[in-house]
Chain A
Amino acid sequence: MELSFILNGKPKRLDTEPERRLIDLLRKDLHLSGTKEGCGEGECGACTVIIDGKAVHSCLVLACQLEGREVLTIEGLEEAGELSRIQRIFVEETAIQCGYCTPGMIMSAKALLMQNPHPTEEEIRNALAGNICRCSGYTQIIRAVSRTAAEGGQ
């Protein structure tokens, strides 16, 4: 099938299979390997991307669901070759250890801040409840998201 959608702000057109998962489209077909696959079942949140302003699992979206939609991945956050504010603060707050959960964590946090620029800690915890970090960095992660909000957002 022919698919047209917006990827990181740019129109994208490609020939693919309707049952191709978004994560495979991104990683294997478009070589955007920033998005990670963890469980492949929507439990871990590592593959989180933003579609039309909402955080979703890229392992649970198929190509046939993407027509005309706007997909934002971790690669879309950089600004003129520099890390965006939320990425920089994740680094500064050591909200990152092995790094595997980080792209998903940041995309979930970004989706929250797009809708709610001044979240409470409870709202941050709720937004990140579907993202698992096995290096146990939750305290630093929540601190990084709070600080990003306090410093003017994403």
Chain B
Amino acid sequence: MQSFIPKTWEEIPDCLRQMTEKSKFLGGGTDLIIKLHSGQLKSDALCYLGYVRELREIREQEEGLSIGAYLSMTELERDPGIKARYPALMQAAADVGSVQIRNNGTIGGNIGNASPAGDLLPVLCLYEAKVETMGPGGLRRLPIEEVLLSPGRMSLSYNEAIVRILLPPCTMETAFLKLGSRKKLTISRIGIALGAEREDGRIRKLRLYIGAVSIKPLRLKAAEELAIGKRIGESEVLAMAEILSDYIREHVPEEFDRDYKVWAARGAMLDIFSRLKLISAEESEG
């Protein structure tokens, strides 16, 4: 197998030009290596960009926080800027797999793998992340939701590398909750990314993305609309949970834990709204 291993930013375009449709980008490799080794996936060349300094940096920019595609889950989890301003991203990174997987798995790989259960994906949608790519023709930026198509598929070309992820400034309070079959090392069965802005106790803005219930993160717009302008009580959260349960009942195939997810949506929604202390004691006035 061939390999393209640029050591500097300037060397990347030349590597990209040599890739074919059968070539693969290697991130941390926590998913790709399993598929290569088992023979499930055939590749003629690997392109690994992990030695390029710019792809391993987190930088403050005027337009937001720029995260190199090769930052590991552990590095995301420990970054003080992410913890302070994008806490849902920190929480999602901290919930991925085991210590060994978090030390190896990268944010770029989580996007490139495009798994329906990819832990970071609902959070990146919540923050309206932009994915910066480099192709033979240069750099471009795309909204994360346009990059993700379906399981394992992205809208990017085979020779277009994810180089950075840009998070615009966030004015919402945010949180992420993952429901798996056990506490540690679990594959997400429901992931919820929630963001809210309040004014005088009422919800001014709400964004709600659900992972692992669809081929890509699902924005629960009907639930968002239900909350706008209101003080949220338990009954509002349960009404929003009902919207999620209805979606799961209609769209998730039975063998993907449908019945469990329908039932678990209530508890998961109550948990994440409580985590942001969004539920007021008095009932809402609607």
A residues with CB within 8 A of B: 1, 17-19, 21, 40-43, 45, 48, 51, 54-57, 59-62, 64-65, 67-68, 108, 111, 126-127, 129-131
* CB-CB under 8 A for A21 and B101, given A61-B29, A64-B26, A64-B46: no
B104 touches A57 (CB 8 A): yes
A65 to B5, CA, bound (A): 9
B36 touches A19 (CB 8 A): yes
B98 at the interface (CB under 8 A from A): yes
Give me the 5 closest cross-chain CB pairs, A-B, nearest first: A130-B98, A18-B3, A129-B184, A54-B103, A56-B104
A48 to B245, CA, bound (A): 40
A56 to B74, CA, bound (A): 12
B3 touches A108 (CB 8 A): no
B170 at the interface (CB under 8 A from A): no
Q: How large is the interface on B (under 10, 10 to 19, 20 to 34, 35 or more residues)?
A: 20 to 34
Chain B contact residues, majority secondary structure: mixed
B281 at the interface (CB under 8 A from A): no
A55 touches B29 (CB 8 A): no
* CB-CB under 8 A for A130 and B101, given A40-B34, A64-B5: yes
Question: Which positions 1-30 of chain B face chain A at CB distance < 8 Å?
Answer: 1-3, 5, 26, 28-30
B50 at the interface (CB under 8 A from A): yes
Task: List B contacts of A64 (CB < 8 A).
Answer: 3, 5, 26, 46, 48
Which one of A60, A65, A130 contacts B48 once the chains associate, using CB atoms below 8 Å?
Answer: A65
A111 to B37, CA, bound (A): 27
A17 to B101, CA, bound (A): 23
Q: Who on chain B is nearest to A68 by CB?
A: B51
B104 touches A19 (CB 8 A): no
B222 at the interface (CB under 8 A from A): no
* CB-CB under 8 A for A17 and B1, given A40-B34, A60-B29, A65-B26: yes
B100 at the interface (CB under 8 A from A): yes
The 0/1 profile, CB within 8 Å of A marked 1, for residues 249-277 of chain B is 00000000000000000000000000000
A83 to B185, CA, bound (A): 31
A21 touches B99 (CB 8 A): no
A51 to B30, CA, bound (A): 15
B98 touches A129 (CB 8 A): yes
Task: List A contacts of B28 (CB < 8 A).
Answer: 60
A57 touches B100 (CB 8 A): yes
In this complex, the member of B29, B99, B101 whose beta carbon has the largest number of chain A beta carbons within 10 angstroms is B99
A56 to B29, CA, bound (A): 11
B233 at the interface (CB under 8 A from A): no
A17 to B45, CA, bound (A): 11
A55 to B103, CA, bound (A): 7
A1 touches B3 (CB 8 A): yes
In this complex, the member of B3, B30, B98 whose beta carbon has the largest number of chain A beta carbons within 10 angstroms is B98
A62 to B37, CA, bound (A): 11
B29 touches A65 (CB 8 A): yes
Which one of A19, A21, A51, A130 contacts B97 once the chains associate, using CB atoms below 8 Å?
Answer: A130
Task: List A contacts of B1 (CB < 8 A).
Answer: 17-19
Q: Who on chain B is nearest to A57 by CB?
A: B100
Task: List B contacts of A40 (CB < 8 A).
Answer: 34, 37
* CB-CB under 8 A for A127 and B37, given A1-B3, A54-B74, A62-B26: no
